[in-house]
Structure 1
Amino acid sequence: MALRCDLIIRDATLIDGTGAPRRRGDIGVKGDRIAAIGDLSGMSADREVMAEGHVVAPGFIDAHTHDDQAVLCGPACMLCKTSQGVTTVVVGNCGISLSPVPMAERPPAPLDSVAELSFWNFDSFAAYAERLRTEPSAVNTLALIGHMSLRVGAMGRELDRPATDKEAERMRKQLAQSLAEGAAGLSTGLFYPPSKHAPTDEVIAVAEALREHKGLYVTHMRDEADHVLDSIEETLKIGEAVGAPVIISHHKCAQPENHGRSVQTLPLIEEYAAKYPVAFDMYPYTASSTSLAARKPRPDVPVTVATSVPHPEMAGRELKDIAAEWGVGLEEAAQRLLPAGAVFHNMSEEDVRRIMSHRLSMIGSDGGPLAKHPHPRLWGTFPRVLGLYSRELGLFDLETAVHKMTGRTAQVFGIEDRGVLKEGAFADLVLFDAGTVRDRATFTEPKQPADGIVETWVNGQSVYTHAAGASDTPAGRLLQRAA
């Protein structure tokens, strides 16, 4: 008796996520797994989708997000991701995680940009994990623990100094417990004020918990501008000291005076990668986005306000225009807008392309889902790579583009049976039109779903169609890293 599937996608161009050449065929799904691939003309299914040559690929894995709150807010809250074909998100980046430290008052920036105060109520990673299990998202979630969050828990608001040995030990124990409960690793944000006074030795002392639990070390480095090379050296020193694989977050060379320095940073990373597990993620834009307080404004770096607590009406406006309207300088205008988030146009296209095309790169959006006027990467990252950089600019072929969003990311993060099309793998899938897929989100209109993403499935369930938008299907799961 022939196998009957729940879903068969027929006559598809199959790009399997490994970087291997595309092939034409069918793919069958039963339950939450891929049941068969190839010529399935002898099989039937409860639902059959005629792909007509459109691409079926593994669902995209967003290597770097701040979706910590968004994944707790119901399936519809993840439309910004499912409409791009994203089926798994990595949360807890840049040293910021909703667990294991509850907050009784608004936390310091940039922690305040990731979640509203009512969501800072998880006193353990187990509590956060249980919430995800009982109220699933539309997408799968892999979670990191943030050093910045641990620091606030151990040190309160006295963050402008190194931690004592006792405080570092408290952080290490909390991290160890979180890893035992299913967290995938430690993230740091050494660039930001709550963590910038943490010396390398403090980070190593906390990160020692990674050794026993085989966790990852993921970092927004101390400096992505003038001292970017020193920061790479520090990052690798920390990873090697505790025996943890290293992931450099949103690798860039920031500020005009550092444009072009990827010709220095990439060989240095390559040198380490030859002897140690090292990877990096990046996003396909020349503008970054973070707390407005994170960088001193300067005339040669245009800044757009993403959100402002005291002046929400200023979201989407240029800082220089606000300053002129108020009759003050850039710094004074920025101070008046705080707490606030902003978009900084501080990178070069040449560096973006060089970093993206490097063999060690992965794709991550680093979007801000709470921002009133977010960076367009929240809605546009993955179709932008497929449409602009692969199809239009020819930076790399489509198989390579998909690999950087799927199989490569799954391998780096230790996500088993996802990121590839193979029999027995989980049915996280995206169907897209390779000829029309493109980002529509812009800096002026950032909340725009992409063109060309036909349908997205998570664990075998449809969570998005271009025709109908997001479904209310809570198909996502909490994932754990395979050591």
Structure 2
Amino acid sequence: MFDVILKGGWVIDGAGGPPFRADVGLLDFMIAAVGRLDEATAPLMLDVSERYVAPGFIDAHVHGDLSLLADPHGVGLAALKQGITTFVIGQDGTSVAPGRPETIAFLRRYAAGFNGDPASVPTTWESVADYLARFDRSTPLNVAYLIPNGNLRLDAIGHDPRPAGDEDLAAMVRAVREGMEAGAVGVSSGLDYLPSKYADARELAALAREAARFDGIYVTHMRGYGHLAARGVAEVVEIARRSGAACHISHYNGPAELLLPLIDSARASGLDLTFDTYPYEAGSTILSMVALPEESQAGGIEATLERLADPTHRDDLRRTWFSPENATRRTFPLEGIRLAMVDHPDWCWAEGLTLADAAAQAGLDLADLVCELLVVTQLAVGTVVFAGDRAEADIRAILRHPAHMAGSDGIYLGGRPHPRGFGAFARYLGRHTRTLGDYSWGEAVVHLASHAARRHRLTDRGLLRPGYAADIVVFDPHAVNDRADYADGKRLAEGVDHVFVNGILALHDGRPTGATPGRALRRG
């Protein structure tokens, strides 16, 4: 007697092998049996004989820190329709725990372009433990959490760009210890974002070393991608050697012939190094990071806004930073950056436009447009960015690497979000597995589920075997596909029939059930 029996499907168990015929029996929140269950009964029997049955997918890099709490069913549906059952949040060194009230208030505003700042989710916590408790049985999805370096640094040092002193490091290490004891799976850094960008290898290694004491990992938005990837990976290697921690690189995108040898060299030297990526040529981030020089952002949000509102500072930016002669200082070509979210009713018309087109429609030059958008929104502007440093051949080579796992880097904000949050995992299955053959079906599930479970120490997830938690996706291998694109990034994926989260049916026949069985997954 089981609670649920999935009858006659093709099981892909997450170990890398091909699909095989089997029934799957669920009891309480666990997988109780995989095999022939001809004599067994259950209140719910689902015929899945024409479907693949796999462990629920784990999004190794996603920005659901506040948006999943503010809109659990909307964000949850975007994920469930792709077979995702778990988000790994706390990415890029910037989130909402731990921290004093002023720390969290700053980071909510600063990262509003990718994490959001919803009034419907007031900050009522300071610790990792209290923040994680907000997710238990309140969303359709599970979450696992990384402790962000930016939070720790703001609490200990504030906005001062100086290196951390011994007392500062001791305070940050204590905070890591408390967060790991509360169930976090590691620490993260975002070395292009404030204030994490001020952290040096000594500071980051100290935090990673403490996380490693709890079998946690160090995850980084490293200091340089594309043509700067060698510099970024060199720092990751230094941190790994100094800390002894397993390390993971976020959204590792760019030219494959440059990126992959760096990973191979580090792994050949004995380092435990992995990475995630998403299958798109464009990226997405906040406007202030890609469109302003570091000196304009020094000192925090109020100091930045005061500078941007000052006509003299704008003139200086126009003559220097925004001049064609200064293009090499900028990470991305500014004119082609597309606005994904503009958090102001008078300017949301610009969502979906490039900065150049929005400036022309507003009758402003590029410098004034950027400054005006950032001032009126209090920096809450998200973008889609075509870096021009990767093509589909690079994406295909990178996703096939054995150290790779899938991460959408999904951002669920604005009228024209990047399509990756609504389509990345379905795109891996439909385009890269079924159509292009970059993976076998067994390999795809390793990259989308079991590899991330192992990496983040989620020891009862990622495999479809008795004794594991019943996070399960049932999908049609002939129909699974992404539908979101750059014109409409919110189109839901298709081809996923059923999704169980902790043994509870969260998606049934492609429709949400309204159940909220998700919980914060504590390490181990």
Question: Please, what TM-score do these two structures have when normalized by structure 1?
Answer: 0.92
Q: Distance between the aligned counterparts of 1:17 and 1:59, measured in 2?
A: 10
Q: 1:410 to 1:7 in 2, by over 3 A?
A: same
> What is the match of residue 131 of structure 2?
128
Aligned partners of 1:129, 1:44: CA distance in 2, in Å? 36
2:21 aligns to what?
24
The yes-or-no answer on 1:270 pairing with 2:264 is yes
CA drift at 1:416: 1.1
Name the % identity. 34
Q: Is the 8 A contact 1:99 1:120 kept in 2?
A: no
SS of 1:226's partner is helix
Alignment-derived partner of residue 376 in structure 1 = 419
Distance 1:165 1:312 in 2: 46
Quote the Cα distance in structure 2 between the aligned partners of 1:473 and 1:307: 29
Instruction: State the one-letter code of the partner of 1:270.
Output: D
Of 495, 509, 513, 1:471 maps to 513
User: Aligned letter for 1:51?
Assistant: V
Which position in structure 1 is the counterpart of 2:306? none
Distance in 2 of aligned mates of 1:93 and 1:371: 20
The 10-residue stretch of structure 1 (454-463 or 97-106) with the greater mean CA deviation from structure 2: 97-106
Residue of structure 2 in register with 1:320 after alignment: 356
Q: Secondary structure at the match of 2:85?
A: strand
Shift of 1:83: 1.4
The alpha carbon displacement at 1:41 in A equals: 1.5
Equivalent residues of 1:301, 1:345 under 8 A apart: no
Whole-Å separation in 2 of the counterparts to 1:85 and 1:52: 18
Matched with 1:361 is 404
Moved more, 372-381 or 283-292: 372-381
1:373-410 CA distance string (max 9 Å, x none): 21111110111000011111111212111110111111
- Mapped partners of 1:230, 1:299: distance in 2: 21
In 2, the alpha carbon distance for the partners of 1:479 and 1:236 equals 28
Question: Is 1:441 the equivalent of 2:484?
Answer: yes
Determine the C-alpha separation between the residues in 2 that align with 1:324 and 1:407: 48
Q: Give the distance between the partners of 2:38 and 2:212, measured in 1 at CA.
A: 49
CA distance in 2, matches of 1:74, 1:326: 32
Output one character per residue of 1:2-28: Cα deviation in whole Å (capped at 9) or x when no partner.
Answer: xx1111111211111111111112111
**Contact 1:413–1:481, Cα closer than 8 Å, also in 2:** yes
Residue 244 of structure 1: aligned partner: 245
In the superposition, relative to structure 1, how do residues 332 and 131 fare at CA in structure 2: closer, same or farther (>3 Å)? same
Structure 1 residues 68 and 264: CA distance shift in structure 2, 3 A: same
Q: Could you tell me which residue of structure 2 aligns to residue 283 of structure 1?
A: 278
Measured in 2, the distance between the counterparts of 1:371 and 1:384 equals: 22
Map residues 374-453 of structure 1 onto 2, 5 A cutoff. 374-453=417-496
d(CA) in 1 for partners of 2:209, 2:247: 14
Does residue 341 of structure 1 match 2:382? yes
What is the 5 A alignment of 1:63-212? 63-73=60-70, 75-77=72-74, 78-104=76-102, 105-107=105-107, 109-110=110-111, 113-116=114-117, 118-133=121-136, 135-156=137-158, 158-212=159-213
| 1:47 Cα deviation after fit | 0.8
Partner residue, 1:305: 339
- Following superposition, the deviation at residue 207 of structure 1 comes to 3.1
How far, CA to CA, are the matches of 1:161 and 1:114 in structure 2?
26
User: Residues 81, 20 of structure 1: CA spacing in aligned structure 2 closer, same or farther, 3 A cutoff?
Assistant: same
- For residue 295 of structure 1, give the secondary structure of its aligned residue in structure 2: helix
- Alignment CA distance shift 1:172-1:119 (3 Å): farther
CA deviations 1:43-71 (Å, max 9, x no partner) are 11111111132111111011111111134
Secondary structure at the aligned position of 1:87 is classed as: strand
Q: Distance in 2 between matches of 1:198 and 1:454?
A: 45
- Give the C-alpha shift of residue 128 in structure 1: 0.9
Give the SS at the match of 2:135: helix
Deviation of 1:362 after TM superposition, in Å, equals 0.2
Cα separation, 2, equivalents of 1:277 and 1:17: 21
Matches within 5 A, 1:37-48: 37-48=34-45
- Does 322-331 or 180-189 show the bigger shift? 322-331
TM-fit CA distance, 1:222: 0.8
CA deviations on 1:437-460 (whole Å, 9 max, x unpaired) are: 100111111111111011111011
CA displacement at 1:480 relative to structure 2: 2.1
Over 3 Å counting, the alpha-carbon distance change for 1:320 and 1:103 in structure 2 is farther
Structure 2 CA distance for aligned equivalents of residues 216 and 371 of structure 1: 32
CA distance in 2, matches of 1:312, 1:81: 25
Residue 94 of structure 1 aligns to a residue in which SS?
Answer: helix
Contact 2:113-2:382 within 8 A present in 1 as well: no
Question: Aligned equivalents of 2:467 and 2:206: distance in 1?
Answer: 40
- List gaps (5 residues or longer) in structure 1: 254-259
Q: What amino acid is the match of 2:271?
A: Y
- What amino acid is the match of 1:147? N
Q: Is the 8 A contact 2:18 2:441 kept in 1?
A: no
Residue 256 of structure 1: aligned partner: none
Letter matched to residue 110 of structure 1: A
Counterparts of 1:398 and 1:211 in 2: how far apart (Å)?
A: 33
Give the secondary structure class of the aligned counterpart of 2:358: helix
Provide the residue aligned with 1:57 in structure 2.
Answer: 54
How many Å apart are 1:287 and its aligned residue?
Answer: 0.7
How far did residue 73 of structure 1 move? 3.8
Are residue 221 (structure 1) and residue 222 (structure 2) matched?
yes
Deviates more, 1:96-105 or 1:342-351: 96-105
For residues 301 and 397 of structure 1, the distance between their equivalents in structure 2, rounded to whole angstroms, comes to 40
Q: Considering only aligned residues, what root-mean-square deviation do their CA atoms show, in Å?
A: 2.0
Within 2, Cα distance between the matches of 1:83 and 1:301? 34
* Conserved? CA contact 2:335–2:356, under 8 Å: no
Shift of 1:301: 7.0
Structure 1 residues 175 and 393 mapped into 2: Cα distance closer, same or farther (>3 Å)? same
Rounded to whole Å, the distance in 2 between the matches of 1:392 and 1:164 is 53
TM-score, length basis structure 2 = 0.85
Decide whether aligned partners of structure 1 residues 395 and 112 sit closer, same or farther in structure 2, where only a CA change above 3 A counts. closer
Q: Pick closer, same or farther for the CA change 1:465–1:91 going to 2, 3 Å.
A: same
Cα 1:398–1:301 shift into 2, 3 Å: farther
Measure how far apart 1:466 and its partner are.
4.4
DSSP-derived class of the 2:429 partner = helix
Aligned length: 469
Alpha-carbon distance in structure 2 between the residues aligned to 1:300 and 1:370: 21
Matched residues in 2 for 1:470 and 1:315: separation?
Answer: 29
Determine the C-alpha separation between the residues in 2 that align with 1:415 and 1:301.
42
Higher relative helix content: 2
Work out whether residues 60 and 405 of structure 1, in 8 Å CA contact, stay in contact via their aligned partners in 2.
yes
